[in-house]
Amino acid sequence: MARAKAGEGHVAHSRPMEDKTGMDGTFHRPIKVTVLGAGSGFTPILANDLFSMPGSQGIELVLVDIDRKRLEVMHRVVRLVAEARGYSSSLVKASTDRRKVMGGSDYLICTMEVSGLECVRHDNDIPKKYGVDQCIGDTIGPGGLFKGLRTIPVFLEILKDAERLCPGAIVLNYTNPMNMMCLAAGRSSDIPVVGLCHSVQGTSHQLADRAKVPHAEMVWECAGINHLAWFTKLEHKGRSLYPKLIRQAKKDLENPVPGEAKEFWDRVRKDVMIHFGAFVTESSGHLSEYLPWYRKRRDLVKKYMVPRYGGESGFYARDWPKWRKQSDDWRRKALAGKVELPKQRSWEYASYIIEAREKNVTYKFHGNVMNDHRGAGPLIGNLLHDGCVEVACLVDQNGVHPTAYGNLPPHMAAVCRSNMSVFDLGAKAAIEKSVEAAIHALYLDPLTSAVCSLAEIRDMTLEMFKAQRKYLKGYR
């Protein structure tokens, strides 16, 4: 999988479902796609996307989940999705044993959750005792680290199985913590893995809306790490959009209103843009956990945080179990014909990557890959060379080709590096099952280190290991 030459990734791409250039041919073969963690709420959407690909010569879709009850329900739902798109429901298969069904897969899509329902309160509440206030807590910080410690060992076992059963497959990972997952995979397996997140395309459309310009006319470049990638270029007809956006952001922050009024919602990202000169890809709730400046004092939380993904304390721990129940309710209603199945192809990258590869056309997307990709040199020169970065990628019949970005502006790169040190040690902890490496990771975490002493961080980490020992086998 060769690297594309520098500059090829610096082209704005429209909403994927509108970008059909070269996508009007036919597949050259039937394909097999296996979804791991198929009980996920992603699955009906991704299945509809796959069955919406024009020119398919046949798709065998295999659903894998260890929760037999949820898998049985999802199997029935996805069979309905297939039939609604004109495919035979017999093409959709399901199993609780991945090893029996992975063989011959062309693509593995990972959407799994490991012990999340059992541990989401531990991930939030124990750090809260030590003053670490989290909103999402599933990609960085104490919550993100422990999600990684539970999830990465399972992921690496899946990749070992893939090396034996489907060595030609490409792994498309949607599971968080994205950076640690892809980093551990890159250090442990030869199976090609690319991490997919919708924050780049979502934020690019959001910025076009705020600047009141057509997205198709906006020229932009974006690079960094997952949830902390920077729109270093944002132009319309040769002029930077940042002066206008920064002026508006200052007005919004000077005249805040309560609640979730759209124009006042994104306070952390707007403040970062004012001070750093560029907008970041992920929600203010996520971003506030990647930085040391916004969640360390009650007055700052009150000033910058608004409900839900705007930064609300404990939002994910409180609402995630509700979403799971709502998702299960939706599935039951779908089977009873009381709600509509997905009708439009979403803008999630997975199906467009598969379609482009099978039709041998070039498609651009932003993916999470190793910075020193296949030993070809760093994609982003001033970030850790053995780390994971998010950059523009191209895909064709030969696979995924990340593009070289160059160097980020130094102040932006420094913020990314502060997070990459956490991911570096978090991946090491998961690969080696090392308690000490996990402690070291949180020593360096920007938010945790802003509010805790080294001794407090050690005590907190050990308390989390004790609370989750049932789900962290082999750590020592």
**Do the Cβ atoms of 263 and 300 come closer than 8 Å?**
no
Query: Encoding tokens for residue 36?
Result: 């791991």
Q: What is d(CA 96, CA 64) in angstroms, rounded to the nearest whole number? A: 6
Tell me what pLDDT residue 376 has: 75
Does the predicted TM-score (pTM) go above 0.85?
Answer: yes
Chain centre distance of CA 446: 20
Does the CA dihedral 145-224-416-132 come out positive or negative?
negative
Tell me what pLDDT residue 261 has: 54
Residue that has been written with the tokens 């809306």 in this structure: 209
Tell me what pLDDT residue 377 has: 78
Give long-range contacts, CB 8 A cutoff, 24+ apart: 293-299.
293/450, 294/268, 295/133, 295/134, 295/135, 295/447, 295/450, 296/131, 296/133, 296/447, 296/450, 296/451
Tell me what pLDDT residue 2 has: 38
Find the helix packing angle between 410-432 and 141-165, rounded to 10°.
Answer: 60
Tell me what pLDDT residue 20 has: 45
Let me know if 304 is exposed, middle or buried by CB neighbors in 10 A (0-12, 13-18, 19+). Answer: buried
Q: Which of 198, 205, 236, 385 is catalytic?
A: 198
Q: Which residue has the higher pLDDT, 374 or 188?
A: 188
Does the CA dihedral 383-220-11-140 come out positive or negative?
positive
Q: What is d(CA 47, CA 326) in angstroms, rounded to the nearest whole number? A: 19
Query: Encoding tokens for residue 320?
Result: 């995630």
Decide if 198 is catalytic. yes
Q: Over 60: is that where the pLDDT of 5 sits?
A: no
Chain centre distance of CA 170: 17
Beta strands 363-370 and 388-396 are antiparallel
Task: Express each pLDDT in 111-149 by its tens digit.
Answer: 999 998 899 999 999 999 999 999 999 999 999 999 999
Q: Which residue has the higher pLDDT, 307 or 45?
A: 45
Centre a 10 Å sphere on the Cβ of residue 321 and count the other Cβ atoms it contains: 14
Q: Over 90: is that where the pLDDT of 70 sits?
A: yes
Chain centre distance of CA 105: 22
Tell me what pLDDT residue 16 has: 42
Tell me what pLDDT residue 22 has: 58
Q: How distant, in Å, are the alpha carbons of 157, 415, 437, 443 from that of 422?
A: 23, 12, 10, 8
Does the CA dihedral 143-145-150-156 come out positive or negative?
positive
Chain centre distance of CA 21: 26
Let me know if 239 is exposed, middle or buried by CB neighbors in 10 A (0-12, 13-18, 19+). Answer: exposed
